[in-house]
Structure 1
């Protein structure tokens, strides 16, 4: 039997799981089938890789040698596959296939607005989209060459997803607002104290960053613990707010919606940073500059359509030496690997 990559993945799974039973579950195999496969691998390599015991398995000296090589080989092969996919795509574009852009994005109005702007700015480009609530999933798709650009974000000063391997540029920084039913007792105020919402239930779209922790911390500073959080899709969040079941959390660019009042929180306890990401080896600088510029224009358009955001901006621009930076992003400069966005 010749050793294959799948055999190395099997060895790694057994070592990480610490037992054949757990490894079989991870690999989706029956334990007898995994045991038989391991015996064939050990015969091919000339000796036992694991010692079996009452409490699981432990690697032998030969097993440690193989695992050490596996930790080098598997990531190298994965990176080779990603580089080959990016190279094949760039070669295809150079041979007249026509440029295409695969855009990913989390929930919010920017993805649709960016597609609309690119249709005018680059009419010969075929644009496809992929939406996900997971910032990490979008980052992984960029790394694997399955997306060209991703609209994502982080809360506060948290680092962007997988920043050591990906290029991230800041589009804009927004405050987090609240959505209230039109008939809510606080719906007609200019700004709302977070503490005034202590008895409410909450709704927001899920994510895998630190936003939930930051929200809980902001509530603690305001003197309360949130009663309940409904994490669901945007349409369901809007419905829960409209019928009075919850107060929603949203970015300030959330579009005007019938039945909703969108209001700033006093003191701006939560901020959201909009980011555009791509793999530096997979994009020409001119393409990245075009997409980034259009993403910033898309954000500016979304901000201009929000009366509550316009009020928020006007209040801070009229306050000398105070408030927060304008929402317009800096003109240039990638986020250094491993750092946040400001």
Structure 2
């Protein structure tokens, strides 16, 4: 047996749905057939890719590596010819959505450089689930979607996607007066007695991911506050709580942003679009604009910039 594209899609479907049953339904297979295929793939690769937990099916360390590489292969296959000259096509407007990341400040301008004939609108959401729902309904034409590794959101035709950043660490924000604020990186276990601010996009699995990550570090997080991503700083600065943050954001006044030792939680960014709305060429041009917008803001947070420069393999393929 050799791995083919369908096997890679199957592995990613299990990771994104967190369930063999749901993944089998997405792939049009029975659960026994899906299970047998998975066992054969694991035998070929020499180890388990997924384990069953109380919250569903989660990838093993080997599984995370395979999933990350599979997503890169699939994203390139989905746009194999879309970035060739002359294939961009014509589109008059693009309804673009995005998760709340630093590069939203540059998205419109960078996309306009790649698609000057298109008028682009922008909708910002804290939730990948809301963005993909809007894509499914046709309320959006494309979106920059972020998910926590192991907690994907389902996407079905006519939605296609291409990975932008396959893997990046999630950082923690805390008060500048916190006793750990002067550390270069912070052990998650050292935050066991803190109050936590709930991460945005709980319906994506981000809250479940926070609980799972903290439990793996030996404690149950005390999630006391629920605040939109842009409204949490007034709670962090005076020390009422700590929160996980996207690493591209610079520290807000009165706070510091630090990496967590060992990268216990990582995210993935992808550009998704409706194939019935955007041609492959237009989608490729959109991807280039989003990629340039993202890299424009890598230097906003010097801590993340150092991590980024040390990991050139995860940079967007522009």
Fold shared per TM-score above 0.5: yes
Q: CA deviation at 1:164?
A: 4.9
Per-residue CA distance 1:210-242 (angstroms, 9 max, x = gap)? 221121111111111111242321232111111
**2:162 match:** 169
* Counterpart residue number, 1:219: 214
The residue aligned with 1:184 is 178
Structure-2 residue corresponding to 1:327: 314
Q: Does the CA contact (< 8 Å) of 1:264 and 1:312 recur in 2?
A: no
- 1:258 and 2:253 correspond: yes
Residues in 1 aligned to 2:106 and 2:262: alpha-carbon distance in whole angstroms: 29
Q: Which runs of 4 or more aligned residues in structure 1 lie more than 4 Å from their structure 2 counterparts after TM superposition?
A: none
1:245 aligned partner: 240
Which structure: larger Rg? Answer: 1
Q: Is the 2:151–2:206 Cα contact (8 Å) retained in structure 1?
A: no
Q: In the aligned structure 1, how far is the partner of 2:231 from the partner of 2:288?
A: 32
Q: How many residues align?
A: 228
Does residue 1:109 correspond to 2:82, yes or no?
no
TM-score, normalization by structure 2: 0.66
User: What secondary structure, in the 3-state scheme, does the structure 2 residue paired with 1:228 have?
Assistant: strand
Taking the aligned partners of 2:308 and 2:274, their CA distance within structure 1 comes to: 33
Bigger drift between 244-253 and 154-163 goes to: 154-163
Note the 1:1-342 alignment, pairs <5 A: 99-172=92-165, 173-203=167-197, 204-313=199-308, 316=310, 326-330=313-317
Report Cα offsets for 1:152-187 as digits up to 9, x if no partner: 121114434324541111111321000111111111
Query: In the aligned structure 2, how far is the partner of 1:125 from the partner of 1:141?
Result: 20
**In the aligned structure 1, how far is the partner of 2:125 from the partner of 2:186?**
30
TM-score when scaled to structure 1? Answer: 0.61
- Say if 2:173 and 2:255, in contact at 8 Å, map to a contact too: yes
Shift of the 179–326 alpha-carbon distance from structure 1 to 2, 3 Å rule, reads: farther
RMSD (Å) for aligned C-alpha atoms: 2.2
Structure 1 residue ranges without an equivalent (≥5) = 1-92, 318-324, 332-342
SS for the counterpart of 2:138 is coil
Taking the aligned partners of 1:102 and 1:278, their CA distance within structure 2 comes to 10
CA deviations 1:92-121 (Å, max 9, x no partner) are x97xxx711111122222333211212333
Larger RCO, structure (CA 8 Å, separation 6 or more): 2
| Distance change >3 Å, CA 278–CA 313, structure 1 → 2 | closer
CA distance in 1, matches of 2:192, 2:127: 28
Task: Determine the structure 2 residue equivalent to 1:57.
Answer: none
Distance 1:327 1:246, change over 3 A: farther
* Alpha-carbon distance in 1 for matches of 2:158, 2:112: 29
Change beyond 3 A, Cα 1:313–1:102: closer
Distance 1:134 1:196, change over 3 A: same
Instruction: Describe the shift of the 1:305–1:206 C-alpha distance in structure 2 as closer, same or farther (beyond 3 A).
Output: same
